Amino acid sequence: MAHIQLQSLSKSFGALEVIKGIDLEIKKGEFMVFVGPSGCGKSTLLRLISGLEQVSSGTLLFDGEEVNNLVPSKRGISMVFQSYALYPHMTVFENMSFGMKLANATKPEMDARVREAAELLQIEHLLERLPKQLSGGQRQRVAIGRAIVRDPRVFLFDEPLSNLDASLRVQTRLEIAKLHHDMTDVTMVYVTHDQVEAMTLADRICVLRDGKVEQVGTPTELYERPNSIFVAGFIGSPKMNFLTGDVAAQFGCSTLGIRPEHIDITESTESREGIWAGQVVHVEDLGSDHFLFVDIGSDDPLIVRQAGKLQRDIGTRLRVSPNPNFVHRFDRDGRPILGASLGQN
C-alpha cells in the first residue's frame, strides 16, 4: 500500500487551470473517493496520481518519495476504467494475465495469480470466454481482475460503474466493497459522480469544486456537518432543502438548510412560529419511503421524507415543522453558522 500526498498540486491545459493548488493526504490502505459535479477536476486529479497526466506545479509523493516525473509503470498502480478496455480477441485468462506476461512473469506465476483473482471475483468459470460472451458486469469484473493480478500498491478507479445498469451497479459496488475489505494492503482512489457510490464505499470522501477541495471527511461527517452550502446540497439524495428570506431570518441566518427526513408532519391547525403551512404538489412513492413536495411559498417545494406508506394526495394541505436539532444555518457566503439557532429552539 502507499501513503499518497498532494502538495499544492496544480494542472493547467494551456491557459485553463483545471486543478488549483490542491493539498490532500490519502492514508495507507484507505478507500478515498473523489466526487463533484462535471468539470470539477476529479478525473484529471486521478490521472495526475496515475502519471497519465503531467503535474504542472506542486509535488506528488508516494510514501514520501516524489513521483512527479515517474512513469505510470513505475508507480505501482493499477487503473480500472469505465470502458473496461479489454482485448476482444483474448480470453478472460489472457486479458487478466497480459500485464504479467509483459513483465516476463512465469507461466505458473501467471496461472496462480489469475486464478486467485478470479476466485476473489467469482469469475473462475469465465476464464476461457471472450469478452463478447460476457455481460457488462462480468466484463467490469474482468477489468478489476486484470488490475488485481498486477499486485499494485495503489488501485485507481475512474467511474467504473457508469456503464452498468442499476442492478449491476449495486452488485458490482458490493464486489468492490468486498475487494477493499479483502485487500487490506492496497490504497484505493475512486472517482465517481454518483454520491451513493461515494457514501457506501468510501472511508473518506473528497468533494471537489472548480479544481479545489471543498471538504474532506467521512461520509457521516459530510452528511451531518457540511462546511458549505455546496457540500450540503451535493451530499444527500434527495438533496437538502434550502430556505431563504423571512423563514431563514427566523432562525438567524441567510439560508436555512433542512434534510427531507428531518421534517415532521403535524396535524395542528394552529399558527405557530417555525411551523410552515403548505399544499402537496407532488408525491413520489418509493415503496419503503414517500417523498412529499410541499409548496410553502418558498422558491422550490419543500421535500418531506416519510417512511412507509403515507396516504397524502396532491392538493392536500398540511403543516410541517423542521426538527430543530437538525437544522443547518448558513451565512451570506454559504458557510455554516455555529451555535444555537433561533426559531424553534
Interval 73-83: pLDDT, tens: 889 898 888 77
Measured from the Cβ of residue 191, the count of other Cβ atoms closer than 10 Å reads: 26
Residue 220 shares a structural domain with residue 266: no
Q: Which are the contacts of 79, defined by CB distance < 8 A and separation ≥ 6?
A: 50, 52, 147, 155, 156, 157, 158
The count of structural domains within the chain is: 2
Residue 308: per-residue pLDDT: 75
Averaged pLDDT, 117-121: 87
Residues 205 and 319 in one domain: no
Among 197, 219, 234, residue at a domain's last position:
234
Percent of the chain with pLDDT over 90: 57
Average pLDDT value for residue range 121-134: 92
Is position 342 within any domain?
no
284 with 198, same domain: the answer is no
Residue 173 and residue 46 share a domain: yes
Q: What's this model's pTM, rounded to 2 decimal places?
A: 0.87
Is pLDDT above 90 for 133? yes
Same domain, 9 and 130: yes
User: Do 218 and 98 fall within a single domain?
Assistant: yes
Specify the CATH number for the domain of residue 254: 2.40.50.140
Q: Is residue 337 part of a domain?
A: no
If you search the block for the grid coordinates 478507500, which residue do you land on? 31
Residue 292 pLDDT > 70: yes
d(CA 165, CA 58): 39
Instruction: Evaluate whether residue 267 is within a structural domain.
Output: yes
Looking at residue 273, its pLDDT comes to 45
Final residue in a domain of this structure, among 189, 215, 234: 234
pLDDT recorded at residue 342:
53
Per-residue confidence (pLDDT) for residue 344, from 0 to 100: 47
CATH number of the domain enclosing 21: 3.40.50.300
Mean confidence (pLDDT) of the chain: 89
pLDDT in tens, 249-285: 989 999 999 999 999 887 654 545 457 888 999 999 8
pLDDT band at residue 329 using 50, 70 and 90 as cut-offs: very high
Task: Note whether 217 and 301 are same-domain residues.
Answer: no
Residue 184 binned pLDDT confidence (cut-offs 50, 70, 90): confident
Q: Do 70 and 150 sit in the same domain of this protein?
A: yes
pLDDT of 144: 87
Give yes or no: residues 169 and 190 share one domain. yes
C-alpha 209/C-alpha 140 separation (Å) is: 28
- The average pLDDT across 167-176 equals 83
| Least confident span in 31-35, 47-51, 114-118, 337-341 | 337-341
User: Before 238, cis peptide (omega within 30)?
Assistant: yes
Q: Which of 219, 234, 249 is the last residue of a domain?
A: 234
Whether 297 and 230 share a structural domain: no
23-27, 129-133, 316-320, range with the lowest pLDDT = 316-320
229 pLDDT more than 60 = yes
For range 30-55, the mean pLDDT: 94
- Residue 53 domain-assigned? yes
What's the pLDDT score for residue 64? 94
Q: Is residue 343 part of a domain?
A: no
Question: Which of 291, 289, 286 lies closest to 308, judged by CA?
Answer: 289
Q: pLDDT band at residue 341, thresholds of 50, 70 and 90? A: low
> Which residues span the domain enclosing 230?
4-234
pLDDT of residue 162: 82
pLDDT of residue 268: 52
CB contact at 8 A, 187 and 28: yes
Q: What is the pLDDT of residue 333?
A: 95
pLDDT of residue 345: 42
Answer yes or no: do 153 and 282 share one domain.
no
Predicted confidence (pLDDT) at residue 286 exceeds the cutoff of 60: yes
The answer to whether 194 and 237 are in contact (CB under 8 A) is no
Q: Of 29-38, 92-101, 143-152, 273-282, which range is least confident? A: 273-282
Pairing of strands 31-35, 204-209: parallel
